[in-house]
Structure 1
Amino acid sequence: MGLGILNDPNAVAESQYAGVDLSALKHGKGRNSHIVLVPQPSDDPNDPLNWPRWKKHLTYGVLMYGTVLCGALGPLVAGAQVEMAQIFGVSLQAMSRALGTALVATLGIATLVWAPLATKYGKRPVYLLSTVFMLVGTIVASEAKTYGVLLAVCEFLCGSTINDIYFVHERGWPIAIFTIALLNGINVTPPISGQVFAHLGWRWCWRIFYIATILLLVLQVFFLPETTYNRRRIAPASKPTDEKLSDLDKPELDQLESGSSHMHKQKKSFVQEMSLYSGPFDKDRSFFQLAFEPVAALLSPAVLYAVCTYGLYITFLVVIATGSAQVYVGVYSFGAVGVGNTYLAPLVADFLAAALVGPLTDYLARRLSAANGGIFEPEFRLPVMLAFLICSGAGFIGFGLSIRNHLSYWAPIIFAGVLNFGITIGCHGVIAYVVECHRHSSDAALGAVIFGKNALSAIFTSFTNIWLAKGIDMAFIEMGVLCIGTSLFTIPMWIYGKRVRSLIARKLHIERAAATVVDS
């Protein structure tokens, strides 16, 4: 393959639709009428891919509100750590572990539970149950009388349903919105919680949060239908060639021979769609087999790349959130309100980055696919990592140097905006790449990424305050160097990504190696 991507010498990965008449496949509508829809939707009106756009967007909007709350939970009382440590009679390091390390460690363990449950029984009951757990946890935290009770708070796993409801050519902006929801859940919280803490006390930070969680639960009950759907991977188009028969699994052969298994179904009523349970969806594998899939997915080079990049970037945002008390209180003598207000620059930067990166990655994917003979490769999502390398490196190193040289507090605030601009772009590129590489096993792949990310976060946040105490300026410079170093992993992924994806698919059966045909 051209454009610097090495071809896979194994013919299995050469083309997803070899032997299939492309004109018989379903295409997009309007200005996207030249694009072959991937995945191919069924004829079932209940197929989430066939939902009207308003319904897709409403469903996704509820999920993004939940994602914001997930991001907000970590730094919810970050600006009040010093005062809370005094109230509970513990060290600042112990309070940081309670609000940071324990939280991400719990999330990492929860991933191994929620991911297989969602695969086997559907996403809707998992969303509802995990929101209930989060609600109970925050209520307990708001009334905590001892330090130990705070360790019981847990964050729920909000898995991605992008693959369920959006086609490949539509996924740029949903992934961008997911990124900004997660990051701005982190960045928008301190300015608000700082004001709440200053005027109402830290308990009201938790109380307002659980009121927001109650609203989330109501929205999920009435506006979040099940998005899991058992579909065939290739729509009925034409009989495959004899050489291709060995590359298709039994369900695909059945589909090609007998046509769509979802024709002539009746559209579900609103009450049916909002039933608490629509499963099971995976009857062949046990819970423990599914729980092992995210662990097995860690062997995927795409997943490992995401853990080392996305995982590290989000971890550093958690480090900044949990360490902001030491940085701005110790160096610039800020109070809780001042610490919270420092997040306004990152908030604006995240919105700017998200507004740019979604359309940019889609544009690059289309242009590179056209230059590649109409064949889309997941690696076409990676060029935006160059912007991440520049912005994150400059932002973290500039942040550290501004503290070392005792510059105005505006300097670290501006550099924080620059590094957040870069991180938003970088996270988008990495998550988009994983989603494209593991279209048929995105739950396991993203579960593995989240598990790895939270393992990194648990390690780093356990010594965040000690790390910063040894030299705040040097700690941030080191973060910048690590961001630059890990972003360079993009180069071998671009060159060898297709080959290793095929190897993993053939040897470990994590994902079926195939390219996506884009009719240009």
Structure 2
Amino acid sequence: MALGILEPRTDSRLPGTELLVDDDQYEREGAQGRLKHGKGKKTDIILIPQPSDDPNDPLLWPTWKRESAFFFIFLNCIVFAACPGPMIAPATVALASQLHVPIKHVAQLSGYQLLIVGALGPLVSVFAQKYGKRPQFLVASVFGVIGTGICVASFSEASLKTSYRVLLAGRMIQGIGTTAYESLSVAAIGDMFFLHERGLRTALLVLTLASMSSFIAVVAGKLFEDLGARMLFVVLLPIQAVAAVGVVLFVPEMQFRREETGSDNITVDVAAEEKNASEKHEGVTDSQATTPRYANSTTTSTARGTDPTKRRRTFLQDLRVSSGTYSQDSTFKLLGSIFIHFLNPAVLWIQIVSAVLVSFFVGTAYTLAQTFTPPPYRLTVSQNGYFFSGALIGGVIGIISGPLCDFIARRLARRNKGIFEAEFRIPICVVAVVVFGVGWFVFGWALDEGKKAAGERVIGPGQIVVVCSVCYGCVCFATSVASTGAGLYVLDAFPNHATEIFILQMMIKNFLFYAFSSFINDFAAEKGPAHMARVFGIATLAGFTTCVPMYVFGKINRAAVSRWRWMRSFRS
């Protein structure tokens, strides 16, 4: 048992169990001498995954190339995935009045957009597996720009009824532009960066996809009030155009056929290595010691069959739309392999602690303008936008979840004799549980105060708004922490299936977004926003109880998944 994690009965190598930190106590010179390590202060960190000898391996790209690709993926996550949805959230009531439609219909302008994102997710995954991620990013950028252009044009229609319909069409096309960035971006980190480099970058993408909406809402509220709804999309359009050009020039294909390097997966059996070290201390030579039976990392320069003569692709070659076909499997076979992952308990856990929690956060956003525009708060559109400042600050602070998750994993790996387990990504959820509890339940208390008569309130309406904004920020921070931990767990525990699992997460999340848009405004009006906050809080804390069995039995589950023959048949 490794720090409370139950061990499976298997001698096979498990993804997510890696020799991460050199431990002199066990003197694994034989294993360490064949493995590449980090540089500078990270020389004790073994690179996971081990890079090939091919200069076109994304893990071996020059630093500027990897970082520029990540920057534009990060930027496009903001302008194509994070911006469109919350742009109209602060103006829900005002826009409903302007277009002469019920508040629910304005919420559905975002709901139908997110429905498109969820529905197209599996297809984007299939095309990414077959043809690479770059074509998906390029297509998404084009549709995102077109969708925003249609939204701009909608406000020039002759009738308000037609304006709403054209605006809805533009929002749905924007959804096509969102899908690839929301579903493939985190998986792209696993293509370009080593395990110990993923924490901060994953946190930044989680911040973008889950929390940057708060910043957008702050800006959009003021912009709507001063310049009108049309200018929201007019301002966004040129930014999206520049971001799309950045993808064309600086985001090459990061999918890589590692099997073409010819490297053998020579791995290190930890128990065998410890036995070797013990025999060495007892006078047994290395040649007499037991030969390692399986390993946790691949060899590099000593691997057989590599071709060091391969040349790095030029900048012009990287501009190709497609680099060929990466899978010979049929579209239906690849599509089926996505939904099979629902049989993996870890995937169901990820939906609970990530997709569902983000849907609570976003679902609440649909009701904020409805809650704080009427008395006793009487917030204007711009003030409704400023309310999201709490969530913005919470999301920015949430960036620390990435480095914190890496720090916890390294510390636990050192205590575990240098061996990293993917389940070491789960303990950070303790932080999320505490902050979620504070956020949701204090939020509910403050809203209850708002329903009381003026003389009975402990705090005034203005103070209630501030408290609620801070609580919403706590929810945003905790959402970032939980989503970062879950995302890193997927990358570490199921690296070969990360894209499909992220697709399922994105699909469920966006279907929930759509579902909330269809009923949450009526629910908040009937039961009250305080009741809604308490329901979300109770459901959140109940969901996090699944972290305990996930940590204890996670490795056994990984072993079971690796033995699923029907899963391998889909992948073969």
TM-score (norm 2): 0.83
Shift of 1:229: 0.6
Instruction: Label 1:384 to 1:258 Cα distance change in 2 as closer, same or farther (>3 A).
Output: closer
- Partners of 2:263 and 2:306 within 8 A in 1: no
Q: Is the 8 A contact 1:328 1:334 kept in 2?
A: yes
Contact 1:504 1:511 in 2 (8 A): no
Is residue 2:190 matched to residue 1:163? Answer: yes
1:169–1:234 distance in 2 versus 1, CA, 3 Å: farther
**1:134 aligns to 2:130 (yes or no):** no
**1:331-364 CA deviation, whole Å, 9 max, x = no partner?**
511111000011112111211221x222211111
* 1:281 Cα deviation after fit: 1.5
- 1:64 is matched with 74
Higher mean alpha-carbon deviation, 475-484 vs 312-321, is at: 312-321
Q: Distance in 2 between matches of 1:234 and 1:166?
A: 21
Amino acid at match of 1:373: K
- How far apart are the structure 2 equivalents of 1:207 and 1:40? 46
Larger displacement relative to structure 2 (187-196 or 82-91): 82-91
What secondary structure, in the 3-state scheme, does the structure 1 residue paired with 2:68 have?
helix
CA distance in 1, matches of 2:344, 2:322: 32
In structure 2, what is the equivalent of residue 31 of structure 1? Answer: 41
Structure 1: how far apart are the matches of 2:94 and 2:422? 47
Question: Matched residues in 1 for 2:428 and 2:240: separation?
Answer: 34
Q: What letter is aligned with 2:85? A: G
Aligned mate of 1:314, from 358, 366, 375: 358
Q: 1:281 to 1:261 in 2, by over 3 A?
A: farther
Shift of 1:238: 5.6
Task: For residues 103-150 of structure 1, give each alpha carbon's deviation from its aligned partner in whole angstroms, at most 9, with x where no partner exists.
Answer: 221110110111111111111111010111111112112222432233
- 1:76 has 2:121 as partner: no
Pick which of 361-370 and 76-85 moved more: 76-85
Runs of 4+ in 1 over 4 A off after TM superposition: 13-18, 233-241, 243-248, 255-258, 508-512
Contact 1:121/1:278 (8 A) holds in 2: yes
1:220 maps to 2:252: no
Bigger Cα Rg: 2
Does the 8 A contact of 1:353 with 1:422 survive in 2? Answer: yes
2:122 is matched with which residue?
112
Paired residue for 1:176?
Answer: 203
Q: CA deviation at 1:278?
A: 1.0
- Alpha-carbon distance, 1:12 to partner: 2.2
Cα offsets for 1:451-482 (capped at 9, x unmatched): 12122222222211012112111001111111
Change (3 A) 1:260 1:466: farther
CA distance in 2, matches of 1:511, 1:77: 45
Distance in 1 (CA, whole Å) between partners of 2:482 and 2:54 is 37
Cα distance in 1, alignment partners of residues 63 and 302 from structure 2:
31
Deviation at 1:421, TM superposition (A): 1.8
Contact 1:62 1:223 in 2 (8 A): yes
2:557: which partner in 1? 500
Counterpart position of 1:461: 517
Question: Displacement of 1:257 after TM fit?
Answer: 11
Q: Give the structure 2 partner of residue 280 of structure 1.
A: 325
What is the CA RMSD across the aligned residues, in angstroms? 2.8
Q: 2:8 is matched with which residue?
A: 8
Residue correspondence of structure 1 range 27-426 to structure 2 within 5 A? 27-69=37-79, 70-99=81-110, 101-144=111-154, 145-152=162-169, 153=172, 154-155=174-175, 156-157=178-179, 158=181, 159=184, 160=186, 161-232=188-259, 235-236=263-264, 259-282=304-327, 284-331=328-375, 332-354=377-399, 356-406=400-450, 407=459, 408=463, 409-426=465-482
Gap change, CA 1:357 and 1:239, over 3 Å in 2: closer
Whether the 8 Å CA contact 1:221–1:274 is kept in 2: the answer is: yes
For residue 310 of structure 1, report the CA deviation from its aligned partner. 0.7
Aligned AA (2:401) = V
Q: Which residue number corresponds to residue 491 of structure 1?
A: 548
Q: Label 1:387 to 1:326 Cα distance change in 2 as closer, same or farther (>3 A).
A: same
How far 1:397 moved relative to its partner?
1.3
Aligned-partner Cα distance in 2 for 1:455–1:62: 27
Of 286-295 and 132-141, the range deviating more from structure 2: 286-295
> Among the aligned pairs, what percent are the same residue?
27
Name the aligned partner's letter for residue 200 of structure 1: L
Counterpart contact for 1:400–1:473, Cα < 8 Å:
yes
Find the residue that maps to 1:44 and give its secondary structure.
coil
In 2, the alpha carbon distance for the partners of 1:345 and 1:238 equals 50
CA–CA distance in structure 1, aligned partners of residues 137 and 207 of structure 2: 20
Q: Aligned partner of 1:315: which letter? A: S
TM-score normalised by length of structure 1: 0.91
Q: Which amino acid letter does the alignment assign opposite residue 54 of structure 2?
A: D
Rounded Cα–Cα distance in structure 1 between residues aligned with 2:135 and 2:520: 36
Letter in 2 for 1:427: S
1:92: Cα distance to partner?
0.9
Cα distance, 1:511–1:443 mapped onto 2, change above 3 Å:
farther
What is the distance in 2 between the residues matched to 1:165 and 1:427?
A: 20
Aligned to 2:530: 473
The 2-side partners of 1:511 and 1:403 are apart by: 52
1:398 alignment partner AA? V
Unaligned stretches of 5+ in structure 2?
20-27, 155-161, 270-289, 451-458
Q: Which residue number corresponds to residue 515 of structure 1?
A: none
Please report how far the alpha carbon of residue 36 of structure 1 lies from its aligned counterpart in structure 2 after TM superposition: 2.2
With over 3 angstroms needed to count, the CA separation of the structure-2 counterparts of 1:33 and 1:382, relative to structure 1, is same
In structure 1, C-alpha distance between the alignment counterparts of 2:363 and 2:305, rounded to whole Å:
50
In structure 1, runs of 5+ residues without a counterpart are 513-520
CA change 1:473–1:508 in 2 (3 A) is farther
- When structure 1 is superposed on structure 2, of 27-36 and 65-74 the one drifting more is 27-36
Are 2:13 and 2:294, in contact at CA under 8 Å, matched by a contact in 1?
Answer: no
> Separation in 2 of the partners of 1:257 and 1:2?
31
Shift of 1:240: 9.3
**Deviation by residue 1:294-339 (Cα, 9 ceiling, x = unmatched):** 2122222222111112111211222122222112213511111000
Deviations 1:43-86 (A, max 9, x none): 11111100122221111111111111212211111122222222
